Chains A and B, each alone.
Chain A
Amino acid sequence: MSASIDIGHDLDINTAYLSPGKLNAKTFAIGTCQYINSLDLSQINPGKPFRTIGNTESGGLKPDRTYFLSADGSHLVPDSGIFHLHNSDATDDGGLYRKIRLANFASWVNFDMVFPRAAAFKSLSQGTSNAADVQDNLTLTTGTATGDYIHIRAQGGTLDLSKQSAFAINGYSPSNTKITVKLGIGMENVNVQEGLDKRYGLEACDTAGTARQYSIVSSNGVGWDADPTTEEILQTAAKGLTIIHNPNVSVNLSRYISNLETVSVKTTNVPNSGALAGGKVVSCGFKTNESIQKFYYIFGMRMEGALPDQYFSPVAVL
């Protein structure tokens, strides 16, 4: 049976005849891409929604997508949220990528150090500690005296702590005893006692010779705390550690352990306001707590988040 076009209002039990035709016109048709592709679209109401299931593409339709029948009844139009490349200004492509970048010019901060180099950072150190470029990585090497440290900081910049951000490091240390490590956003130098400064990141400290794991640390400017995780500092190869800051909600550490996705959620003393001062944003510090040289290898780092209002003025995209 073919349904007459019925637009505008939802079905009303008092005035509408609940015929299959009317119900069909109002509801999703769910089927495989092959089935939906085989329908005679000219017999179906314009605007009719379709949901594709299965796992085989057919006639340009892909599984797990939503399509609507075009106003002229000639073809299916993908819903927004569809895979697109932002490589044209056509609606289905979502607009040009360069326009998206420009539209977010003043609100987005991206620290890209997937290829880190020592000269990109300000090095603070004690003893013979240093940060050096080797072919494989950026190596933090402590001196040979107890308390020798190396802390690298990205100069300048800022980050709005009232918006979501994330910091990631790919690296490792072959030492997990008698060391102090501090990595993250707004972190104090590795050689000083924790303050009340707003921050989030990873840290660990050992002076007793006990094998240590990373703790998630955060401060909201009033109090700070560090919570233990199952993430071992001692590794034999670089691995990725991603720290996600959800303002006033949580600081999460996401990583893989034995190929299993593992996430630690910390909900206390989470920063939710303010912007970090220049030079305070991204830093990594490593210290030896015995008279033995220690190493931390950094293969890559990344941070993304928001700039505070009026840090840069906006670009109107034409």
Chain B
Amino acid sequence: MYTKTVTMCKARHIRKYITQEIGYNVDFTFDYNKDEVTATFTCSDDYADPHICHNREDLEEYIIRRYGAFLLKQNLSTPKNFAMDMKKIGEALTNPMLKGRDNYQDEYTKIVSNEEYRRLRELGFKYEKELKTSSYTKNVYEYRIGLWQGKK
């Protein structure tokens, strides 16, 4: 996970423009008296979907492109109560977009319903195990899920 904390001017104006591009997350604090905004932007390059993976250089470029005209201070320290290890990403390990990537820190299994399985199958996800339920209910399916945990 990559983070960058900045201070910007025009709090009331920016409050209306907090929508972000996919893959960039932000924690905004608006101080209307000082007319300033403190924002901690974060992104990660551990997602299966390459469209939402962004690295540190992408983050710097994004902030300048989107909020450059409002920047007052840069390179501020990340707030103490912004725990990097609370960043978690969970992906079914058969997600075709992972392309065999296996740098996850932990894994666990999860059983999904038949309906959910059919949707995942359409997207190219393979199950680990098919589990029979009863003669009159549909089977359920077990998937392995990889857990990527946050780190700086």
Contact = CB atoms under 8 A, between A and B. Distances in A.
A194 B27 CA distance: 24
A301 B88 CA distance: 26
Q: Please classify how large the interface on chain B is, using the bins under 10, 10 to 19, 20 to 34, 35 or more.
A: 35 or more
Contacts of B23: 267-268
Contacts of B52: 267-268
B47 A268 contact: yes
A262 B30 contact: yes
Given A193-B108, A196-B145, A260-B30, A225 B88 contact: yes
A222 B122 CA distance: 11
A118 B83 CA distance: 33
Interface residues of A, number: 36
Interface string A251-281: 0100001001111111110000000000000
Contact of B110 (A195, A261, A263, A266): A195
B129 to A, nearest CB: 15
A213 B81 contact: yes
Contacts of B69: none
A210 B81 CA distance: 11
A195 B108 CA distance: 10
A159 interface: no
Given A196-B112, A268-B22, A268-B47, A230 B90 contact: no
A79 interface: no
B120 to A, nearest CB: 7
A225 B28 contact: no
A296 B3 CA distance: 31
Contact of A249 (B19, B87, B88, B112): B19
Nearest to B42: A227
Contacts of A227: 25, 42, 86-87
B37 to A, nearest CB: 10
B82 to A, nearest CB: 6
B76 interface: no
Contacts of B130: none
A213 B24 CA distance: 20
A48 B118 CA distance: 60
A230 B27 contact: yes
Contact of A223 (B25, B32, B49, B110): B49
A204 B86 contact: yes
B20 interface: yes
A94 interface: no
B88 A263 contact: no
Given A228-B83, A249-B22, A260-B30, 13 more contacts: A193-B110, A194-B90, A221-B116, A222-B92, A222-B95, A224-B89, A225-B88, A225-B90, A228-B82, A229-B82, A230-B79, A265-B20, A268-B47
Interface of A: 193-197, 204, 210, 212-213, 215, 219, 221-230, 232, 246, 249-250, 252, 257, 260-268
30 contacts: A193-B108, A193-B145, A194-B90, A195-B145, A197-B116, A204-B86, A212-B86, A213-B82, A213-B86, A215-B88, A221-B119, A223-B47, A225-B89, A228-B83, A230-B40, A230-B81, A250-B20, A261-B15, A261-B29, A261-B30, A261-B32, A262-B28, A263-B27, A264-B27, A265-B18, A265-B26, A267-B20, A267-B22, A267-B25, A268-B22
